[in-house]
Structure 1
Amino acid sequence: MSVIELGESIPAVTPHAVSVSLPTWSDNVGYEEGQKEIINKLTTGYPRFFIHKLIVAFAEEIAAKYGAPSQQAMLFPTAKTARRCMQFIRSNPPADSSTAEVRVVDLVLDRSKTSSELLLKISPCISAVLFPSDIFSTAKQYWQHSGDGVQSRRAEFCHALFQEGTLVEATVPQPPSGGAQKAARGPRRYQKVSVDKKSFGQAREGSESPKSPVTTVISEARESSQFLEERFGRNLDASLVGRARSSICRRIAGSLMDDAEPAVEFSAKTTLSNRGVADLAEDDVYLYPCGMNSIFNTHNLMLQARGQLKTICFGFTYVDTLKILEKFGPGCQNYGNGASEDLDDLEARLKAGERFLALFCEFPSNPLLKCPDLERIRKLADAYDFAVVVDETVGNFINVHVLPYADVVVSSLTKVFSGECNVMGGASILNPQGRYYSQLKKLIEAEYEDNYWIEDVIFLERNSRHFVSRIEKINENAEVICDVLRTHPLVKAVYYPKYNDSKAFYDECRTPKGGYGGLLSCTFHKTEQAIAFFDRIETAKGPSLGTNFTLTSPYVILAHFQELEWVAQFGVPFDLIRVSVGLEDAKDLKARFEIALKAAEAVE
């Protein structure tokens, strides 16, 4: 395997990639320290942490047109999401900074300037939060934690309309229709024409260069042409988006298990039970632009349904899950160890009269792969009236059924559900048997805003068609790698659901044919050994997980660099290496890990 150069996208030559290559340990440290020689080489990054350059270019043009010279813009898909960010900034003003100038500019389609049925149907829009530059870090916090920020494909599409003058400020009066207007069509990939390699290239060559300083036209064309020609056989037909969305929801609900089945019409009222719960329907699944956004919106939903109560974060969860529970609402009781003793403490608090909104947990957790005792948690929730929200991203519903224990299940579809590492997505699933179902259903139907961009929907539907068979192969490969690591004398510990102390809790939820997943972590007896292993391993190396290819990262360095002492109290070593196992040939993958272990041996 050839090494992906520092700062290049993962996958390579993919303009909307979800990961970025940080191939050495020092690269990861330098990235976290903000070293310019590292940062300047990054072509992209994980979207909630690194604002895509296409988005930055669009934001700069909006700020230049509508803002003051000292202002920046942050982009959101709708007016509602932008105003949530504005409220967060005003509620968390930085020291010595004024929030008086923070405002929102809403950009909407000027319907008099287009005859495109597609544009008129989807009515694209963008809202920008304008703020003084010294408030950027506060705005970025909201972007990272909430997942509300605009996605890169939507920004690219809307930027083209903005430059044409077809996307205008909502307060600007609309001229009467019927005049001789140039028909706005948006990026060429949305035009419904037959395509082959030759004609697609000619279409690209005939298009105008974008005004953005980000030169991604060639690579974007390469991604779109390869994806559309090899998998679609045509340009994107946006009329299929409803069917694609339906197929995604059906897969998540557990009713669409045939890898080859395309997007077709489906009744939302059909009852399903493949997730271990009766009466689960397609319309109990709600899609979001990313996994963290599903958590953010589920927490908001709980606050609206049950009032301003503190939340429980159980186990060592992903960093932004805890941040959401701490920063948005009345606070959080954090049980970072996720141990039986923590449940004892929680039960004592409940018996003493404390009341909570909901308990959020992962199954299993990231990166230690521990599993909470969901059966006991469910009993406490029923006895003391709090909701249970389970993040199944790492376990996934092919391996485990956690919905019977939860009121809501959340998941990052960016990860193994997609596998391709080229599109973000998230989902929340309401348990129709849950005690709060009717209340939550009524609220979410009133409050839900579908912000999942149409092209992202199309990409995710195609990516997820082989979800079931991919999980089976990934499960097998992960156990092979676990065996290699567990039998090596330099490896101090391997964290994997099959070998953790919480295995019994995992097995309680494991499906009849389920495995133990594709995520594992390990530590070495010496940090120098971990560094040598990481630098030598011939896999992709960067943030994210659940990719079709093996992806390795020094997870704690990337996720908790500024709080290493804090994470240590929960038994999370700073030099832990996390491995997301992919679909490679098992023999080849095993050989790569053995070679990297040889490099660790050389340290001694």
Structure 2
Amino acid sequence: MLPTHAIVGAAIPADTPHAVSVSLPTWRANVGYEEGQEWVMSKMKTGYPRFYIHKSIQKLVQSILQKFGQPDEDAMLFPSPGVAKQCKQFIKQRSKTIPAPNVRVIELVYNKSKNPKTPKDSETPIWSDLCAVLFPAEEFKCAKEFWQHSGDGVSSRRAEFCQREFEEGSLVEKSLAAELEDNNPTPPLAPKGPKRYSRLPRVDAKVHSQSDLNGEIGEDSSTYVEERFGRNLDVAFIENAKLAIRRRIAGTLKSNLAPNDALEQSDEGGRLEGGFSENDVYLHPSGMSAIFNTHRFLMSALGYKKSVSYGFPYIDTLKILQKFGPGCYFYGNGSQEDLDDLQAKCESGEEILALFCEFPSNPLLKAPNLVRIRELADKYNFAVVIDETVGNFLNVNVLPYADVVVSSLTKVFSGDANVMGGSSVLNPKGRYYQQLKQTLNTEFEDNYWGEDALFLERNSRDFVSRIARINKNAETISDLLRQHPRVKEVYYPKYSPTKPYYDNCRCENGGYGGLLSVTFYSREDAIAVFDTMEISKGPSLGTNFTLASPYTLLAHYGELDWAAQFGVASDLIRISVGLEETDELVDILNRALAVL
């Protein structure tokens, strides 16, 4: 029997219903996936959640279409009317159909008349409202673009919960809910279903002991069955789970923190002297949602102006800046000459909304010159948004140079690869802090599903100790690859020409992260090594286990020549290094390199 990492289409991690990666174990399988070949697509059990619509979401879509849909209609599901409206506008604006397609929103809400009994004083019902955007089936590709770029679609766990509500009659169309409530004006009871869905709503609910947070399975138990939620926070503490996550981020994650320790942290501490707290940390359904909404909030607060994408970015960041709003200037090399050109544009009177960059960049691991970027931003009045997902909070401190720091918590912050999440952090010393704070106070929606927050809180408790080990492993693997004569280039912050820029922001005990990329002198060598590596291979990064992908192939299959202009080779392999024993990883890489 093949090991899980060798099975095309298997979930990574194995047997994980809400996995965020999928096994594409050979170069050929990755090409087959990109080209939609049947032998790959028919085996896909799951996929990266913003690119592959989870089966639980597909099932709920079909249930809603059966009840509300018309022939030849399809649908996308979102957590709020606000997001659904944005999707509707996007489809109408981007559609090539004349006249504009008929796009409608079905708002589904909790049927309060479904349960006539009054809940106990200690309980408050938990429910999930839901919006379905229905559109002609031929507009699916356009709708999928919004789903992918915004990162604001419903999560698979939310879809499972809503499926139960919908089938039970607890989730109904809004006008019907109002009619039912008028006819039966009785207080609601928590909907039926697993006991975990009864909760205390208070953020300040007292946590009396570790067992309050760990539920029926003890902290030391090795049993981890996802559906039981035993090692996660009890649902009664959903708001506390979110608060613990935000305080871990605001507290700079100096040490592993149990949830009760995180909840007891003062909200006045933090990395910046003078008030950086959890109140400046916002949680989002995904890292891309953090970027998408930060861009949206910046346009609302500072005006409808072009932005700048500096350095070769993760694909969807650039797409957001290009497709939403007035467009952007793209500086894919991330060079000093690029900054010279930006300065010249500003000198000539061009007004810029914000500069978006990664620290370091993905997949070339180049660090931008944040000192100069900050100087230009201050001189020419634009904001700076830094995505530090790859560097991560513990290795680098980029907040002093940013107005907003965004991160994908799906990655190394979680590590377990079984939940999505993102964060945005406002710099309280930033020049636009008050304007952004005021905008978020009125426009920010907390669309992060509580059950996902429970998993993220649980996964992130040992973040600090994991990072030190990952840093060490990645440096070792980088050194090993750099010594091989058939390796052309190893991209890693420690060995990059931009290392001085990285070191300028490196924390006192920070390392160079767990991500690296490698190219070989021939495509044949790259394929041979990739196919031979006895590790998991699929999309995503920052996992507790080592994970590789032919990154350019997956991210830019339809634009390989374009990516090559910026030094991103079509046969580049990206490796996200995990927590395995260092000697074990060295042996795996040596066996793979031995085929050359």
User: Structure 2 length as normaliser, TM-score?
Assistant: 0.92
In the other structure, the counterpart of 2:220 is: none
Residue 164 (structure 2) pairs with residue 160 (structure 1): yes
Shift of 1:111: 1.1
Matches within 5 A, 1:16-415: 16-95=18-97, 99-114=100-115, 115=117, 120-172=124-176, 173-175=179-181, 176-177=183-184, 184-187=191-194, 189-190=196-197, 222-225=225-228, 228-229=229-230, 231-232=231-232, 237-263=234-260, 266=263, 270-274=267-271, 276=272, 278-415=274-411
Letter in 2 for 1:323: K
Distance 1:256 1:240, change over 3 A: farther
Matched residue, 1:206: none
SS in 2 for 1:498: helix
- Deviation (angstroms), 1:338: 0.1
Corresponding letter in the other structure for 1:247: A
The match for 1:7 is 9
Q: 1:514 to 1:269 in 2, by over 3 A?
A: closer
**Shift in Å, 1:517:** 0.2
**Number of residue equivalences:** 569
The AA in structure 2 aligned to 1:359 is L
Q: 1:240 to 1:382 in 2, by over 3 A?
A: same
Bigger drift between 61-70 and 415-424 goes to: 61-70
C-alpha separation in 1, matches of 2:190 and 2:86? 34
5 Å-filtered alignment, 1:495-506, equals 495-506=491-502
For 1:287 and 1:401, how far apart are their aligned partners in 2?
19
SS of residue matched to 1:359: strand
Per-residue deviation, residues 263-291 of structure 1 (Å, max 9, x unmatched): 468489832232x5542111000000000
Question: Is the Cα–Cα contact under 8 Å of residues 126 and 197 in structure 2 kept in the other structure?
Answer: no
Q: Determine if contact 2:374/2:384 at 8 Å carries over to the other structure.
A: yes
**Contact (CA 8 Å) 1:519, 1:581: kept in 2 or not?**
yes
Unaligned runs of 5+ in 2: 200-211, 218-223
Distance 1:252 1:447, change over 3 A: same
CA distance in 2, matches of 1:525, 1:132: 48
Deviations 1:306-353 (A, max 9, x none): 111100000000000000000000010000000011011111111111
Distance 2:325 2:586 in 1: 46
Decide whether aligned partners of structure 1 residues 581 and 174 sit closer, same or farther in structure 2, where only a CA change above 3 A counts. Answer: same
Counterpart amino acid of residue 358 in structure 1 = A
Task: Answer whether contact 2:124 2:190 (CA < 8 A) is retained.
Answer: no
Write the distance in 1 (CA, Å) between the matches of 2:443 and 2:465: 36
Contact 2:285 2:420 in 1 (8 A): yes
How many angstroms apart in 1 are the aligned matches of 2:447 and 2:333? 35
What's 1:578 paired with? 574
**Pairwise CA RMSD:** 2.2
Q: Calculate the TM-score normalised by the size of structure 1.
A: 0.91
Unaligned runs of 5+ in 1: 198-220
Distance 1:106 1:263, change over 3 A: farther
Residue 515 (1) aligns with residue 511 (2): yes
**1:428 alignment partner in structure 2:** 424
Which has the higher mean CA deviation after the structures are superposed, 65-74 or 418-427? 65-74
Instruction: Give, in angstroms, the shift of residue 530 of structure 1.
Output: 0.4
Q: Is the 8 A contact 1:247 1:256 kept in 2?
A: no
| Identical amino acids, percent of aligned pairs | 56
Q: Deviations over 1:238-266 (max 9, x none)?
A: 22111111110011112553314224684
Deviation at 1:41, TM superposition (A): 0.5
Judge conservation of contact 1:268–1:282 (CA < 8 Å) in 2. Answer: no
Structure 2: distance between partners of 1:80 and 1:119: 28
